[in-house]
Structure 1
Amino acid sequence: MQKLETATELEYAFLFTLRKVNSINPEGFKPFFINMPIDPYIKGNYRSRRLSRFTVSGNHLIKLPHGYLFQSKEYNPLVGDIKREFAELDDGLIELDIFTNLVLAFSDSCKLHPEAEIGVHQIRTICSADNLGNPAPEGIHQDGTDFIGIFSVNRDNIQGGETHLYTAKKENPVFSKVLNPGELLLVNDHDFFHFTTPIKPQYDTQGSRDVFVLTSPSLLS
């Protein structure tokens, strides 16, 4: 669990948790972030994305039929009220034990109902010397779900990408941290807004930030 150092952070300790998932070696995920489909709903071609939804049965995952992501403009002023469609996660990724471990870690940590639907968003954000990558182009926001998990897979040649949690949009963050590979941040979406700062390269070549974002309910229909 993230060490909480201030009185304000201690007040909210039960509403978010940062943990290292020791049963997962993020190296196994890396090949599946190469050549992902570009997110067509965001201008700039700097974000790639796949999305699937699951339920948990014991220690196994049940993949649910293809669906469409939908958020209202109340939660996503940039692309809200649009029925968005993304390619499913690669079958080879879903078959990995570490992928099952990731979804189970999210479900167990959030104490989800056994029939709860979980959306798994696979996201790569890239940047170059000429263009910043923006992991959260909609700004400080909530997703309109119950629980969110952000799992860091890889940070390659980047600066920035610090994740912040807020109790209100105009308040200072109560949590600020760069998520390192293998770390999972769990957040109650009803109580916090979240944001991740833009990324830029450390050196004069392309950089990338790879994460899984898990949501329950999945926001898919």
Structure 2
Amino acid sequence: MQKVSESMQLEYAFMFTLRKVNSINPKGFKQFFNDLPLDPYIKGSYRFRRLSRFIVSENKLSKLPHGYLFQSKEYNPLVGDVKREFAELDDALIELDIFKYMVLAFSDSCKLHPEAEIGVHQIRTTCSPNNLGNPAPEGIHQDGTDFIGIFSVDRENIQGGETHLYAAKKEKPVFNKVLNSGELLLVNDHEFYHFTTPIKPQTDAQGTRDVFVLTSPSLLCD
């Protein structure tokens, strides 16, 4: 991880933070990543995805009606201005206590207002000896939301996949780290650009990177 000076830590303290969510055992999520549908909007057949949106009220999690994902080309030059439709999260996943704890950790850490809409994107990126996986095919970018959370579930047989944060696109990153299982990176999307480097397998077998990406607002439209 890049060292950040004490002055920079103070300057960025309320703009991004990394925490370990001790109330969550990420192994409980693993089975729900094995049947993710292929993301049809990305070439290469290496990314798999589901998403749903929620609100948190009085520490209770409520799922909202499903919608389509939409970002403008200003934020996503690759698939911006496209109505992207994905399957919802598995009901059995949503019922897990660890899922609730993850969403609450995001909501509480970002100090979201009551009834704030939260999108939860479940994403698996794969790679093989002949095919790199690209967690951020759109390059260094912002999402066009207020807050972003990246919760690392698992890394299996991969190298790479280092997450970077930038105060500006053409500057050096102010943060760069491989997110380990159980770590949650929280980012103010107005202040930073983010990127994750491609992954490749450590052996001849397939490699996988499993994460949840949380956003508020959700980026889903009716």
Asked if Structure 1 and Structure 2 have the same fold, meaning a TM-score greater than 0.5 normalized by the shorter chain, the answer is: yes
2:181 paired residue number: 181
1:33 paired residue number: 33
1:169 paired residue number: 169
The whole-number CA distance in structure 2 between the counterparts of 1:55 and 1:85 is 20
Q: Which amino acid aligns with 1:29?
A: F
The whole-number CA distance in structure 2 between the counterparts of 1:3 and 1:116 is 33
The whole-number CA distance in structure 2 between the counterparts of 1:51 and 1:174 is 29
The alpha-carbon distance between structure 1 residues 3 and 56, as it changes in their structure 2 partners (threshold 3 A), is: farther
1:117 paired residue number: 117
Structure 1 residues 1-221: aligned runs within 5 Å: 5-6=4-5, 7-221=7-221
User: Shift in Å at residue 4 of structure 1?
Assistant: 6.1
Moved over 6 A (4+): none
User: Shift in Å at residue 14 of structure 1?
Assistant: 2.0
The whole-number CA distance in structure 2 between the counterparts of 1:115 and 1:207 is 38
Q: Give unpaired runs (5+ residues) of structure 2.
A: none
Q: Percent identity?
A: 81
User: Shift in Å at residue 208 of structure 1?
Assistant: 0.2
The whole-number CA distance in structure 1 between the counterparts of 2:20 and 2:188 is 18
Contact 1:127 1:208 in 2 (8 A): yes
| CA RMSD after TM alignment | 1.3
The whole-number CA distance in structure 1 between the counterparts of 2:2 and 2:97 is 29
Paired residues, number: 220
Contact 2:2 2:174 in 1 (8 A): no
The C-alpha deviation readout for 1:121-149, integer Å capped at 9, x for no partner, is 00000000000000000000000000000
User: Shift in Å at residue 8 of structure 1?
Assistant: 3.5
User: Shift in Å at residue 9 of structure 1?
Assistant: 4.3
The whole-number CA distance in structure 1 between the counterparts of 2:11 and 2:192 is 13
Contact 1:38 1:45 in 2 (8 A): yes
Q: Which amino acid aligns with 2:159?
A: Q
Give TM-score scaled by structure 1 length: 0.97
Q: Which amino acid aligns with 2:75?
A: Y
SS of 1:105's partner is helix
Contact 1:4 1:13 in 2 (8 A): no
Bigger CA drift: 206-215 or 55-64? 55-64
Q: Which amino acid aligns with 1:52?
A: S
SS of 2:35's partner is coil
User: Shift in Å at residue 59 of structure 1?
Assistant: 1.8
The C-alpha deviation readout for 1:20-39, integer Å capped at 9, x for no partner, is 00010000000000021000
Give TM-score scaled by structure 2 length: 0.97
SS of 1:14's partner is coil
